[in-house]
Amino acid sequence: NAGVTQTPKFQVLKTGQSMTLQCAQDMNHEYMSWYRQDPGMGLRLIHYSVGAGITDQGEVPNGYNVSRSTTEDFPLRLLSAAPSQTSVYFCASKTLMSGELFFGEGSRLTVL
């Protein structure tokens, strides 16, 4: 039972480069979301989706794009990475009506 899988676990980028953080879940959850966590901070919501083709902004969406073409996958794109995007990123999923979120193990991104 894989749950929520994030790749890569670690990534180093140079300023201005682009990349995609991948997130996949095998629990048939309608809801998926991305968070970032900076040292000493709680988790801040970047984007979320309540189903294929439906996405919406969270608390800190600037600099990030998302799409949801399938129920299973919810990639997070950084089009032009900035040092301020150095963070640990967590993907999470749940059923629509539930409050119980299932988190991935995180992706640690460093932008130089």
Partner 1 sequence: DAKTTQPPSMDCAEGRAANLPCNHSTISGNEYVYWYRQIHSQGPQYIIHGLKNNETNEMASLIITEDRKSSTLILPHATLRDTAVYYCIVRVLGSGGSNYKLTFGKGTLLTVNP
For residues 79 and 100, give the distance between their C-alpha atoms in angstroms, rounded to a whole number: 31
Choosing from 21, 25, 33, 34, the residue that interacts with partner 1 (CB under 8 A) is: 33
Find the part of the chain contacting partner 1 (CB under 8 A) among 14-22, 62-70, 74-82, 100-108: 100-108
Choosing from 10, 14, 62, 96, the residue that interacts with partner 1 (CB under 8 A) is: 96
For residues 90 and 28, give the distance between their C-alpha atoms in angstroms, rounded to a whole number: 18
Q: Among residues 27 and 88, whose Cβ is nearest to partner 1?
A: 88
Residue 21 interacts with partner 1 (CB under 8 A): yes or no = no
- Residue 4's nearest CA partner among 91, 75, 68, 62 is 91
Residue 61 interacts with partner 1 (CB under 8 A): yes or no = no
Residue ranges in 73-92 that form contacts with partner 1 under rule CB under 8 A = 88, 90, 92
**Alpha-carbon separation of residue 50 from 43, 53, 75, 86 (angstroms):** 19, 9, 14, 27
For residues 79 and 60, give the distance between their C-alpha atoms in angstroms, rounded to a whole number: 15
Which residues are near partner 1 by CB under 8 A?
A: 4, 31, 33, 35, 40-45, 48, 50, 56, 58-59, 88, 90, 92, 96-106
